[in-house]
Structure 1
């Protein structure tokens, strides 16, 4: 009697059976450059677009200008395509576009968005990146959510083909550096100013998302938030550092209507949040398909020594462990939304280390949807958090400021060639991004 394998071979040939390409992960191992399909893992880069003010509002740090993107946007977007990438985290210059309530300047935005559309690049559109328009002033202004909501709706109406948004980039970092660390925008240093900035930016994100959803009910919201942790190496812990490790969740707690613990709740009430405001945040999640983006740089993770010295820990916990804490808290699909190192010789190894973290997370069944090397081109003065305008180049891009590739560009191309067609998660067809509007999610 013939083996069933012989029967199959006689009828269907020796492997690569017709029809197999429709099953599993496309019937293949996931290698090859990204296709951009709805069920595909989102390999991305970003164009650094921060625009906070320093010097008490007198100096605007616009990284799109300082890295010459306004003049070279076609070249830059062409490099995204040349890399083989289909997805780009991209921030329009909010402070330049919304010049006053109801008054907009779309000139540059229209040019850049048209070029992205021509090249077939999917933008994750970043609407507020560390700064606000001059007429709003700073993050202490309670009118911020209303003005930003109007802006977000105007963007969604003008570019109806865009589906992916980051309404407010790194809300926690925005509020902390502006109102607690005294570096950007209002440059205040108090817990009350921090809570005020935080509640205004979270409210802006929520209201902005609602306006986006009016035009795109099927919008996908990629919340990019910094993955932080501070290790305190003291026998007796310091209350300020311990609560800081709780406050790192606060922006997402308010955004996702997750009740923080009693200590954090008391902190909010002690520093100006009213019960009415708190109840408003806890009423429910904003609309759209919510993706929790976690940004991780080695410098996000710090060690405090017994004498109070603070040093960068670089990967004691790493993206996997820190992000896993966030995932268990919110149970949202995950994206690695930013990473880099400032030493271009170390960058390829750092890229592979981040990818190992992602593979480990995927192996455990966590729905990881994408990865981002941030950014496409080198940055300026991020080693000092943009606190002074020194013009010092940070060699963290896939390309330098002359648009010449750095070693990490070749490493990323190798990674894309090997993994570019993997699905969003293992058995990712179950998580394929549908065209239906998001619906209310009910816990059972």
Structure 2
């Protein structure tokens, strides 16, 4: 049976003189209870770090094993086998580097100590992805020691492979039966005919680490002489020919951006993809976004290539996608199915590894930027304790039954939809079979914006008015009902405080009841005005409601009746919503032709929410199966005047006249369930760009 393995994102990457440690940044270092949560998923094999930089950071003779002793003992007690990683995208501690000729011997010394301390561990990955790490550190200069040449890349790659060989010798001196589980990203490069030579070069290069370790890089190999030309000793190259470092299992780490397409027609691609090799200019694009490559990309194709070349047992040793929850589920499903299909074809794929169980931080920039960009995994750490996501639920089902279900799987991931193609190849059409999401018409444009976001996520939105609701919900194929109708009322209340506006108590409960009877998920929004604003601090879901004015009282009653009518309803409280074209945020910008006067209590502090961020976070929660009250607002409170200043500054426009700072009531939301929204400044910057430069036929909310 195909196994489910797990992995904790554990990279320790040096950038200039600073280190980034993902075990610390995801909080795993300080949560020993994480191990019990992993065991509860049914995972019995775990890729786990015993990283050199963490144990012996300052002196190779001074090792601190305390953290690892406790964690590894607990894993052993839980019956979880460990695949020990010793260097994970690192350059080693400060007293060495990937360019250091002593790196292999120093790592071997450390590996021997690990084996002696934990003799029950039998599977090791001394160096994770040696070729990929060498590319980022020696060819592209992203990571220490920040070199940018083919020669430096090759030396660093060889250094890591030699370190793996010497580490295995040291480990096997203690544990003779120890196995090498070698991971690598082997993404293929495609190209136009004009760039076939560059693509062939890159496709040869991608195999170098595995060719070395598998004993294939002999004097007849096309790269053998290149290595000798670098001054590498022939004896060290030929030491691999014995097969001593041949992996017992090759772990393929495949990502959607691993496969590339080279095209000399640079103007057909976004500017950030344009570059070259120093001799020719070309675009280096994601191959998955090219229509004519649709049947040549993907995890099955790459796994099949590795099997054909090496004939070794395989596993997918990292499955992670930093995207919306629905596409995370679809990616896991596709990789799992590829492994199942290959096993049916007698290809020995042993496992699929759910990677980044507790998520990852700033991997969207290869850890170069410290922006705090978090990508959840099986658990979301943005809560008092890691919260199980739909991806975690799927992992548990896979471990128990070998399969999993979720309505969103009825549609393919973005990498299989028309939206993925670059503009020159893009078609039209709705995703067939996508789960339906009914969105109630609100009369102010929110329903249309929410529908566009749903469609972009592979969900099939249907905008309904009140009269059509009962009949429409009886149709097959619907999965959820979204009621955004309080959003424009919230805006009116804030613009005209003290008025008689009220939420629709009875209609909210009726809609929730209809959804419950149709067995649909139900999502609606509520207001921070269920609090009176006198507490002097941000308020959470645990705080008792103390409504502010008629609208606040009606919103609180509406919440209660909705939850009574649909116990599984998700009720999202938020602050003033901005980011809809023609809505308040646009009118706050000065010198806009559609700017109108707006009124609000000037000194009240509020928690604004950028509509796309709000909708994406709410949809993720809906897919996770969450219910009850959730507070969704950006970290960073402001007044309406303050928001106007932030938007104008971000847009590069003259700022409005100064207004009073926040000194009135505090309608600021916090959460004890999970702070899922990005910082307010990030939202403001993206909103300003979208409002001033929307694409053709788009609104700022997309």
**TM-score relative to the length of structure 2:** 0.52
Contact 2:92/2:98 (CA < 8 Å) preserved in 1? no
1:5-31 Cα offsets, whole Å, 9 max, x none, are xxxxxxxxxxxxxxxxxxxxxxxxx6x
Contact 1:243/1:264 (CA < 8 Å) preserved in 2? no
2:88 is paired with a residue whose SS is coil
The answer to whether the aligner puts 1:169 opposite 2:150 as a matched pair is no
2:222 is paired with a residue whose SS is helix
The aligned counterpart of 1:383 is: 364
The answer to whether the aligner puts 1:51 opposite 2:16 as a matched pair is no
CA distance in 1, matches of 2:85, 2:208: 20
Q: 1:145 aligns with which of 104, 108, 126?
A: 104
Q: 2:250 aligns with which of 292, 295, 313?
A: 292
Out of 407-416 and 326-335, give the one that drifted further: 407-416
The aligned counterpart of 1:96 is: 54
CA drift of 1:161 comes to 1.2
Q: 2:81 aligns with which of 122, 125, 139?
A: 122
Name structure 2 gaps, 5 residues minimum: 266-281, 289-293, 404-702
CA drift of 1:269 comes to 3.3
The answer to whether the aligner puts 1:231 opposite 2:190 as a matched pair is yes
CA distance in 1, matches of 2:27, 2:72: 17
**Higher Rg of the two aligned structures:** 2
CA distance in 1, matches of 2:336, 2:83: 21
Q: 2:304 aligns with which of 324, 341, 358?
A: 324
1:210-235 Cα offsets, whole Å, 9 max, x none, are 11111211112211111211111x22
Alignment of 1:341-356 (within 5 A): 341-343=321-323, 344-356=325-337
CA distance in 1, matches of 2:225, 2:257: 29
Contact 2:215/2:241 (CA < 8 Å) preserved in 1? yes
The aligned counterpart of 1:406 is: 389
Q: 1:80 aligns with which of 38, 42, 45?
A: 38
The answer to whether the aligner puts 1:71 opposite 2:51 as a matched pair is no
Contact 2:107/2:163 (CA < 8 Å) preserved in 1? yes
The answer to whether the aligner puts 1:357 opposite 2:331 as a matched pair is no
The aligned counterpart of 2:399 is: 416
CA distance in 2, matches of 1:93, 1:277: 25
Contact 2:217/2:223 (CA < 8 Å) preserved in 1? no
Contact 1:377/1:398 (CA < 8 Å) preserved in 2? yes
Alignment CA distance shift 1:272-1:195 (3 Å): farther
The answer to whether the aligner puts 1:216 opposite 2:216 as a matched pair is no
CA distance in 1, matches of 2:203, 2:232: 20
Alignment of 1:131-142 (within 5 A): 131-142=90-101
The aligned counterpart of 1:312 is: 286
CA distance in 1, matches of 2:91, 2:134: 12
1:336-377 Cα offsets, whole Å, 9 max, x none, are 111111112201111111111101110111111111011111
Number of aligned residues: 375
Contact 1:379/1:393 (CA < 8 Å) preserved in 2? yes
The 4+ residue runs of structure 1 with deviation greater than 6 A are: none
CA drift of 1:134 comes to 3.0
Alignment of 1:202-213 (within 5 A): 202-213=161-172
2:387 is paired with a residue whose SS is coil
1:204 is paired with a residue whose SS is helix
1:415-437 Cα offsets, whole Å, 9 max, x none, are 223228xxxxxxxxxxxxxxxxx
CA distance in 1, matches of 2:245, 2:96: 26
Contact 2:123/2:178 (CA < 8 Å) preserved in 1? yes
1:183 is paired with a residue whose SS is coil
CA RMSD of aligned residues (A): 1.9
The aligned counterpart of 2:634 is: none
2:346 is paired with a residue whose SS is coil
1:100-128 Cα offsets, whole Å, 9 max, x none, are 23321111111111111122211111111
The aligned counterpart of 1:12 is: none
CA distance in 1, matches of 2:3, 2:110: 27
1:70 is paired with a residue whose SS is helix
CA distance in 2, matches of 1:93, 1:283: 28
The aligned counterpart of 1:42 is: 3
Contact 1:49/1:92 (CA < 8 Å) preserved in 2? no
CA distance in 1, matches of 2:216, 2:300: 22
Say which structure, 1 or 2, has more relative contact order (CA 8 Å, 6+ apart): 1
The answer to whether the aligner puts 1:248 opposite 2:209 as a matched pair is no
Alignment CA distance shift 1:283-1:161 (3 Å): closer
CA distance in 2, matches of 1:180, 1:43: 34
2:199 is paired with a residue whose SS is helix
The aligned counterpart of 1:7 is: none
